[in-house]
C-alpha cells in the first residue's frame, strides 16, 4: 500500500466514507440557517445547536428555503438582544454569540446578501469574513465551504486529534488546512463529506481521553499513543 501523504489522506477519506456513508453536511434549509448554526456550534454540541435552530423556526425567524432569506436576516438582526439570548441559550456563551450573530448579519446586510459577496475570490471572501468580530478560522471555513461552496477545508479539534494520533503533527490551523487541501481531490463534495467524517470518527472512535482503534475504520494505520 502506498503511504505517501496524498494517497494516505485520500485513503482515510475513502475508508471513512465506506464505513459511515455520506453525512450530507451541513444540515440546513437555507444558507442563512447554515451560517447561523456555524456560529452557534462554537464550543458546544450539535444537539444544543439543533435546539436553538428549532426555536428560531418556531418563531418564524428562519426561511424554509432561500426565498426571502434577506428579510429573515433583517428580522433576526433587529431582534432585541435579550430575546436573541433566550433563543440561543442552549448553545452557551450566549452573550458573545449574540454579538457575533449581529456582527455577521450586519456584514451580510451591508454586503447586499450572499449574492453581493459571490463576486469575491476565495482569498478576498475569507479575509472579509475573518474581519467579523467573534468569527475565527473554523467558523469562517464552515461558511466558505457550506454556504459559498468554496474550496476551503474546515479543520476542527477532531481533525487535528485524528491526524496527530496518526503521526501527522503540524504547527497550526493553516498548516493542517493546507496539508489536507493539497492531498485530496479538488471536489467540493469530498471537502464537505471529509470534514463531516472527521467529526463523526472523532466522536465515535477517537475521543479525547479514549481511543477505540480496534474498531475504527482507520485502525489499520499506525497510531501514535
Residues 8-60: tens digit of each pLDDT: 899 999 999 999 999 999 999 999 999 999 999 999 999 999 999 999 999 99
- The per-residue pLDDT for 3 is 44
User: Which stretch, 5-9, 71-75, 212-216, has highest mean pLDDT?
Assistant: 71-75
Residues 149-161: tens digit of each pLDDT: 999 999 999 999 9
- pLDDT (mean) for 166-190: 96
Give residue for cell 426561511: 63
- The per-residue pLDDT for 1 is 42
Identify any residues that bridge with 206 across adjacent strands, giving them in sequence order: 211
- The per-residue pLDDT for 6 is 58
Identify which of 150, 133, 184 has the alpha carbon closest to the alpha carbon of residue 17. Answer: 184
- pLDDT (mean) for 172-179: 98
Identify any residues that bridge with 211 across adjacent strands, giving them in sequence order: 206
- pLDDT (mean) for 112-139: 97
Could you give the angle at which helices 31-40 and 46-58 cross, rounded to 10 degrees? 130
Q: How confident is the model at residue 222 (pLDDT cuts 50, 70, 90)?
A: low
- The per-residue pLDDT for 219 is 84
CA distance 212 to 124: 41
pLDDT over 70 percentage in the chain: 95
Amino acid at each position: 500500500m502506498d503511504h505517501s501523504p496524498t494517497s494516505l489522506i485520500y485513503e482515510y477519506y475513502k475508508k471513512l466514507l465506506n464505513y459511515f456513508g455520506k453525512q450530507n453536511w451541513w444540515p440546513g434549509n437555507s444558507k442563512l440557517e447554515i451560517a447561523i448554526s456555524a456560529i452557534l456550534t462554537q464550543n458546544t454540541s450539535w444537539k444544543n445547536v439543533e435546539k436553538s435552530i428549532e426555536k428560531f423556526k418556531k418563531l418564524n425567524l428562519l426561511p424554509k428555503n432561500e426565498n426571502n432569506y434577506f428579510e429573515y436576516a433583517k428580522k433576526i438582526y433587529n431582534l432585541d438582544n435579550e430575546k436573541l439570548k433566550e433563543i440561543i441559550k442552549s448553545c452557551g456563551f450566549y452573550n458573545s454569540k449574540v454579538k457575533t450573530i449581529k456582527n455577521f448579519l450586519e456584514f451580510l446586510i451591508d454586503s447586499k446578501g450572499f449574492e453581493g459577496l459571490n463576486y469575491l475570490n476565495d482569498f478576498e471572501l475569507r479575509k472579509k469574513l475573518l474581519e467579523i468580530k467573534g468569527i475565527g478560522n473554523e467558523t469562517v471555513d464552515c461558511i466558505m465551504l457550506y454556504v459559498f461552496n468554496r474550496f476551503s477545508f474546515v479543520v476542527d479539534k477532531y481533525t487535528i486529534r485524528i491526524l496527530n494520533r496518526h503521526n501527522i503533527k503540524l504547527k497550526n490551523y493553516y498548516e493542517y488546512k493546507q496539508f489536507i487541501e493539497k492531498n485530496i481531490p479538488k471536489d467540493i463534495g469530498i471537502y464537505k463529506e471529509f470534514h463531516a467524517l472527521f467529526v463523526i470518527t472523532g466522536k465515535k472512535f477517537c475521543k479525547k481521553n479514549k481511543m477505540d482503534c480496534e474498531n475504527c475504520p482507520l485502525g489499520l494505520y499506525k497510531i501514535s499513543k
